[in-house]
Amino acid sequence: MAGPAHPRLAASLDRLGTETAFSVLARAKELERSGRDVIHLEIGEPDFETPAHIRAAAVAALDAGETHYCPSAGIPELREEAAAYLSRTRGVSVSPGRLLVGNGAKPFLFFTVLAVCNPGDEVVYPDPGFPIYESAVRWSGAVPVPLPLREERDFGFDPADLAARLTERTKLVILNSPQNPTGGVIGGGDLAETARLIARTRAWVLSDEVYGRLLYEGEFRSIASEPGMLDRTILLDGFSKTYAMTGWRCGFAAVPESLVDPLVRFFVNSTSCVPPFVQRAGVAALTGPQDAPAAMLAELRRRRDLIVAGLDALPGVSCRMPKGAFYAFPNVASVPLPAEELARRLLDEAGVALLAGSAFGPGGAANLRVSYASSIENLERALERMRAFLEPLVR
Ligand SMILES: Cc1ncc(COP(=O)(O)O)c(C=O)c1O
Residues 215, 313: Cα–Cα separation, whole Å = 24
Q: Give the model's pLDDT for residue 389.
A: 98
Cβ neighbours of residue 33 under 8 Å, at least 6 residues apart? none
Q: Quick check: 11 pLDDT over 80?
A: yes
Q: Quick check: 2 pLDDT over 70?
A: no
Residues 221, 290: Cα–Cα separation, whole Å = 19
Chain segment 224-258, per-residue pLDDT in tens: 999 999 999 999 999 999 999 999 999 999 999 99
R_g of the chain, CA atoms, integer Å: 21
Chain segment 374-386, per-residue pLDDT in tens: 999 999 999 999 9
Whole-number Å distance, alpha carbon 130 to ligand 1 midpoint, is: 8
DSSP 158-212: PHHHHHHH--TTEEEEEEESS-TTT-----HHHHHHHHHHHHTS--EEEEE-TTT
Share of the chain above pLDDT 90, in %: 95
Phi, psi (rounded to 5 degrees) for 374 = -145, 160
**Which strands sit side by side in the sheet containing 355-356, from one edge to the other?**
327-328, 368-371, 355-356
Which ligand 1 atom is nearest residue 103's CA?
A: 11
Where does ligand 1 bind, in terms of residues with CB under 6 Å? Answer: 44, 104-106, 130, 176, 180, 208, 210, 238, 240, 246, 251
Q: What is the mean pLDDT of the chain?
A: 96
Which ligand 1 atom is nearest residue 251's CA?
A: 10
Chain segment 283-339, per-residue pLDDT in tens: 999 999 999 999 999 999 999 999 999 999 999 999 999 999 999 999 999 999 999
Q: Structural domains in the chain?
A: 14-43+292-390 (3.90.1150.10), 52-287 (3.40.640.10)
Chain segment 16-51, per-residue pLDDT in tens: 998 888 889 999 999 999 999 999 999 888 899 999
SS3 99: strand
Q: Which of 240, 243, 252 to mutate to test the pocket of ligand 1 (most atoms within 8 A of CB)?
A: 240
Q: Give the model's pLDDT for residue 395.
A: 77
